[in-house]
Amino acid sequence: LTGDFLSNHGVYDAVTEYSDGATEGAPASGAAEAIVDITSTGETLKANGLRILKDGLLLESEANLAASLGAAWEEIPLLQAKALLTQLEARLRAPRYYKMQLIVYGTAGYGAGTQYDIGINYKEEVEKFTNKYGAHYIGQNKFLVPKNEGSIHEICEALLKRFACDAIIQEPEQVMIYKQNNLFFSRLLSGLEDAL
């Protein structure tokens, strides 16, 4: 695969060596000018100071999860499918959000210098903010804010101004965001009903 890719791109004099691990360290040690590696997130490459070349993607794959609509779906397999699809949907939802933590200090009325929860003290205002920006208040001054262009900065500025607070904004890594309605499982149930 690598040889074909290189020759298709006009590279005929490259020497290809095969590795059984720790391939990412080869460029740093001088053992290789470039590597070909299987990646899922690319985090190992980043950790080793490497990047994927602009035109360097050899092969891309994706998984496909299918269910037999003609199978006899008993209660336990259906619950197992629901658990799997719920986790999958929760994992796929997380990268669409920022996590924002407000650091809110009380004024004279709420204990000067101590933190307090705006979701308790200003419930209606917090609901107004979340409705306006499509955000979710998750308690203890934390919000999940959709990654719509500009919305994180707009809501952050509005909240900082209103509550005279500081904010920390993070990418939610290894987070799973569960919702009451599972779209994937609903599709499975709908398909099963249609098949009957």
Q: Per-10-residue mean pLDDT for the chain, 196 residues long?
A: 84 82 77 79 78 79 85 90 90 86 68 68 88 88 82 82 84 74 88 81
E-strand stretches of the chain? 97-103, 136-139, 142-146, 166-170
Q: In the chain, what are the domain boundaries?
A: 2-47, 73-196
| 73-196 belongs to CATH 3.30.70 | yes
CA-CA-CA-CA torsion sign (28, 33, 39, 43): positive
pTM of structure: 0.53
